[in-house]
Amino acid sequence: ATEHKLWPEIDRVCLEQLHYARLNLGEGGWQLFAEDGEMRMYKREEEVGGMVVDPLKAVHIVKGVTGHEMCHYFFSADVRMDWETTVEQMTVLESIAEDTQVFLQIHKRVWPAAQRDSLFWSHIRKVPNIRDEDGQDFWIVCNHSTEHQDFPANSGKCVRLFLTVCLVCQTFIDPPKDGTDITRDNLTCKITYCSVVNPGGWAPASVLRAVYKREYPKFLKRFTQYVIDQCADKPIMF
Ligand SMILES: CCCCCc1ccc(-c2ccc(S(=O)(=O)CCO)cc2)cc1[C@H]1C[C@H]1c1ccccn1
């Protein structure tokens, strides 16, 4: 996809998001708002033009799958509707390359706000782990709002929301002591999910914050469980 006009932006946003995801939660005023087993969800309360755009950062540890598998299923258009319960309709507008697609998604309406749609490019890539920490290479999927001449914002019934999302995964292998082949029992996947969603038009701060608090934990728990279930009986994708 390196010759496509979007490539410079895709490359820049992906690397920015990888850096942002790897910043630890020490600085930056993150407040923990949800916990479930190994999943911890943090947010910062921010408003842009009177609209809630609370950045979200979730960290999670999932046994039995690799970062490649986690990112593969997050990126795959074919399975999106199997796990994405808040999307009413999903269309692939453009397949720029094997690793880059442009999506239009109509999201289920969040009462009392108007229904939203999102139009974004989605890119998956492996990033070598150059600091030879004990983890494997990073896999990242980045979703970032973009434009498309056939689908201008706010031209239909939906308010166009703007999003930047990244899923950054790293696999840790604890090999069997007896030198036998690695099995899923030897795999641990560390996940960082970051998201900034600008609702694109006014929505009550109280409603938005309540929806985020309810929907994000459900969303990440459902997605990661979906990947565990899909991978259970399949060969490991390293
Ligand atoms: C007034 C309504 C404001 C906006 C509602 C809304 C829409 C989309 C999204 C969203 C868009 C993309 C992604 S993704 O990770 O890129 C995967 C691909 O679908 C994820 C979540 C979020 C929210 C915010 C509610 C919040 C919410 C959170 C998790 C699920 C549903 N709703």
SS3 128: coil
Structure tokens at 99: 């690793």
Rounded distance between C-alpha atoms, residue 108 and residue 224, angstroms: 21
The residue whose CA is least distant from atom 26 of ligand 1 is 212
Note the pTM of the prediction, 2 decimals: 0.96
Q: How far is the CA of 139 from the centre of ligand 1 (A)?
A: 22
pLDDT at residue 67, as a whole number: 98
pLDDT at residue 178, as a whole number: 95
DSSP element (H, E) containing 194: strand 187-198
pLDDT at residue 1, as a whole number: 65
pLDDT at residue 71, as a whole number: 98
pLDDT at residue 111, as a whole number: 86
Degrees, nearest 5: CA angle 191-1-78:
55
Structure tokens at 118: 């999102």
**Closest ligand 1 atom, CA of 212?**
26
Q: How far is the CA of 216 from the centre of ligand 1 (A)?
A: 8
**Bridge partners for 39 per DSSP:** 36
Q: Is the CB of 86 under 6 A from ligand 1?
A: yes
Rounded distance between C-alpha atoms, residue 136 and residue 174, angstroms: 11
Handedness of CA 156, 159, 160, 165 (dihedral sign): negative
Low-confidence ranges of the chain (pLDDT < 70): 1, 132
Rounded distance between C-alpha atoms, residue 20 and residue 204, angstroms: 28
Question: 120: which residues sit within 8 A by CB, 6+ positions away?
Answer: 102, 103, 105, 143, 144, 145, 146, 163
pLDDT at residue 2, as a whole number: 77
Q: Is the CB of 84 under 6 A from ligand 1?
A: yes
Q: How far is the CA of 235 from the centre of ligand 1 (A)?
A: 31
**Closest ligand 1 atom, CA of 211?**
25
**Closest ligand 1 atom, CA of 199?**
3
DSSP element (H, E) containing 226: helix 205-231
Handedness of CA 218, 220, 221, 227 (dihedral sign): positive
* Spatial contact of 161 and 144, defined as CB atoms under 8 Å apart: no
**Closest ligand 1 atom, CA of 105?**
19
Q: Is the CB of 125 under 6 A from ligand 1?
A: no
**Is the complex ipTM higher than 0.90?**
yes
Q: How far is the CA of 8 from the centre of ligand 1 (A)?
A: 25
Structure tokens at 138: 């990073």
137 exposed, middle or buried (CB, 10 Å; 0-12, 13-18, 19+)? middle
pLDDT at residue 132, as a whole number: 65
Measured CA distances, 213 to 32, 41, 115 (Å): 11, 9, 19
